[in-house]
Structure 1
Amino acid sequence: MKRREQITPDMTPLVDVVFLLLIFFLVSTVFKKEELALLLNLPASQSSAEMVEKEKISIELSQTELALKGETVTFEALESALSQVNDKKSAVHVRIDKEVRYERIIKLFDILKRYELNNLALVNQSKQ
């Protein structure tokens, strides 16, 4: 009697494909350990650039003056203007002179926090 040979699929091509996929994913994946140093809860933005420009609140702070949307105001006037903002997700662009005392910055940030304006962007000048 003749013995029947069992038919088994050749596993060599399958192992080759799996090995190539493994190498592809390892090479294409970027590992950035420095970004994982702090666990941050970053805000998400769903607005387009056009909407941000319409609803942007611009604040400038120097050593002696404070400006809201290009007009010089006091901290009290700023507070009353910010209390009337309905959209709490409005972008707040803050420009601060590098010589400003820390106390003034904290006072500004306290006002923004009081009115729950948390979508904050600190604007700086790029080096060229």
Structure 2
Amino acid sequence: MKFQRQRREEININLTPLIDVVFLLLIFFMVTTTFTRESHLSISLPESSGETHSAPQEVDTIDVVVGSEGQYTVNGQPLVSHDALTLKRAVVKLAGDKRDQPFVITADANAAHQSVVTVMDVAGQLGFSKLSISTRKSDD
């Protein structure tokens, strides 16, 4: 006896609705995306024109001077290297455990911004809270 095999329906997935949904999502994200335009600003940094206050000089002040070439001087002692680790070691050696001392940054007008930010970063990592940047009075 010969039996006929039942024909199986071929199983397939219709991808057309899936592709439609993907294209709709793509169009939605393209329409709702905002594009930012980067622009370079030319700025001129201000000078201090206020009156100077004659505060009593504290002996325990940490004064970091940033030179025009990025060299550092901590309380009058020039550092051998211009990196953050050397600066951090010099400040720790000078300050010890006292983190409540005033930390004054004096930078040359031609010093790189990164050099000043490095000094501020070292002061923040070491926990100094009294950070100030010195300026010169403008010649009016």
Q: Distance in 2 between the 1:94 and 1:78 partners?
A: 13
The match for 2:130 among 94, 119, 125 is 119
Specify which structure has the bigger relative contact order, considering alpha-carbon pairs within 8 angstroms and separated by 6 or more residues: 2
In our comparison, the structure showing a higher alpha carbon Rg is 2
Residue 79 (structure 1) aligns with: 88
Residue 54 (structure 1) aligns with: 59
After TM superposition, the structure 1 = structure 2 runs for residues 36-55 of structure 1, keeping only pairs within 5 Å, are 50=56, 53-55=58-60
If the length of structure 2 is used for normalisation, what is the TM-score? 0.50
Give the paired residue count: 79
After TM superposition, the structure 1 = structure 2 runs for residues 1-128 of structure 1, keeping only pairs within 5 Å, are 50=56, 53-64=58-69, 65-73=71-79, 74=81, 75=83, 76-84=85-93, 85=95, 86-128=97-139
* Alpha-carbon offset, residue 100 of structure 1: 1.4
* Alpha-carbon offset, residue 82 of structure 1: 2.1
| Aligned alpha-carbon RMSD (Å) | 1.8
Q: Does the CA contact (< 8 Å) of 2:68 and 2:109 recur in 1?
A: no
Q: Distance in 2 between the 1:77 and 1:101 partners?
A: 18
The one-character-per-residue Cα deviations of 1:3-51 (angstroms, maximum 9, x if unpaired) are: xxxxxxxxxxxxxxxxxxxxxxxxxxxxxxxxxxxxxxxxxxxxxx55x
Q: Percent identity?
A: 11
If the length of structure 1 is used for normalisation, what is the TM-score? 0.54
Gaps of 5+ in 1: 1-48
Structure 1: 4+ residue segments shifted above 4 A: none
Gaps of 5+ in 2: 1-54
Residue 33 (structure 1) aligns with: none
